[in-house]
Amino acid sequence: MRQTLSELSVLDIIEIETLLSRRRSVDPPVSAGQRQAAVALILDPQPDGLEALFILRAKKPGDPWSGQMAMPGGHRDPDDESLQATASRETWEETGLDISEKGRFLGSLDGIRANPRSGIDLVVTPQVFVLNESRPDLTPNEEVAEVLWGNLNGMKTGALKTEAQFPEFQRSGSFPGYRVGDQVVWGLTFRMLNDFFDLLP
């Protein structure tokens, strides 16, 4: 019997959880003066495929990712017990989504060393979650201009892959990315998504 798209999405979640449970994420060594950060890759199975939560960061002086598409996340605080806790806290602060209550933790991806334009040196580690219930209404804070959901199936197959220019970020040339609504996910978040897709068959 042919499976529906929604059934395939659920099976995708089961497979993703299995793959993440079998691996141990690897973070680059954190040196003196280097900071740690985490982002939340929040998955939501939908009839048209697996979707993920993205935010459009508000334009803010001093923010190296100001105005860019990203996953919810930020720097690890001394009180955070883990990078999973960092991702959960930042998601709550930025979107109003309590992922520890509304979702389930699946595992971590490898950390990526980032060198944003501000000169801050940090390692960012994606934490993967899945929603356990219907998509809730979100209340983004002042750091977030918009909350969007992107179709990961379309990204993985290449249907949503694109190239774009970002002169507003003082970048010359074109950069690869994925379309999410009228926005483009590129740069560090694009790399994280590709690391995620590389885990899947």
Does the predicted TM-score (pTM) go above 0.75?
Answer: yes
Please write the tens of the pLDDT for every residue from 68-81. Answer: 999 999 999 999 99
Rounded Cα distance, 39 and 35, in Å: 14
Helices and strands, counts by H and E, the chain: 5, 11
Contacts by residues 110-118 (CB-CB < 8 Å, ≥ 24 positions apart): 110/25, 110/26, 110/27, 110/195, 111/25, 111/26, 111/27, 111/28, 111/36, 112/28, 112/188, 112/191, 112/192, 112/195, 113/28, 114/37, 114/188, 116/64, 116/65, 117/64, 117/169, 117/170, 118/62, 118/64
Q: What are residue 106's phi and psi, to 5 degrees?
A: -105, -30
- pLDDT tens by residue, 140-198: 999 999 999 999 999 999 999 999 887 766 677 889 999 999 999 999 999 999 999 99
Domains identified in the chain and CATH numbers: 5-25+34-196 (3.90.79.10)
